[in-house]
């Protein structure tokens, strides 16, 4: 079984500042890792995913994440945030090599102030 911990429930930041949203996972097998974004009253939208290969993955809206196997982390970063990035962000992990359903973290609320 796998689990996900999103270390911060809320991250306030000023517009144009950099941001990092932290995600740690636990699994006894190799994993796939995902970040999703959820805007108010909407479903989740896939931002980026790590399946294998390069540990730095780039996604939509200028976001990127780095897979660190030794730290069991998959932190999400953006060098300069916009007001429109204000949303809930979810990290998810699923076991690779089979039909394993992703487990989602509790989410991090990114609040971008002008």
Under the rule (CB under 8 A), what is the footprint of other proteins? 4, 9, 32, 34, 36, 41-46, 49, 51, 90, 92, 94, 96, 99-107
Q: How far apart are CB 57 and other proteins at their closest, in Å?
A: 12
Q: Which of 47, 50, 87 is nearest to 72 (CA)?
A: 50
Q: Decide whether 51 or 56 has the Cβ nearer to other proteins.
A: 51
Q: Decide whether 46 or 56 has the Cβ nearer to other proteins.
A: 46
Q: How far apart are CB 114 and other proteins at their closest, in Å?
A: 25
- Asked whether the beta carbons of 81 and 19 are under 8 A apart, the reply is yes
Q: How far apart are CB 67 and other proteins at their closest, in Å?
A: 14
Q: Number of helices (H) and strands (E), helices first, in the chain?
A: 0, 12
| CA angle, residues 75, 40, 58, in degrees to nearest 5 | 30
């Amino acid at each position: 079984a796998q689990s996900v911990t999103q270390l911060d429930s809320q991250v306030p930041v000023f517009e144009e500042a950099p941001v990092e949203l932290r995600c740690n996972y636990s699994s006894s097998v190799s994993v796939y890792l995902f970040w999703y974004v959820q805007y108010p009253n909407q479903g989740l939208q896939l931002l980026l995913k790590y399946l294998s290969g390069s540990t730095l993955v780039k996604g939509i809206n200028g976001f990127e994440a780095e897979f660190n196997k030794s730290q069991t982390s998959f932190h999400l970063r953006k060098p300069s945030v916009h007001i429109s990035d204000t949303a809930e962000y979810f990290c998810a992990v699923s076991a690779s090599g089979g039909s394993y359903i992703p487990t989602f973290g509790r989410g991090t609320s990114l609040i971008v102030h002008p």
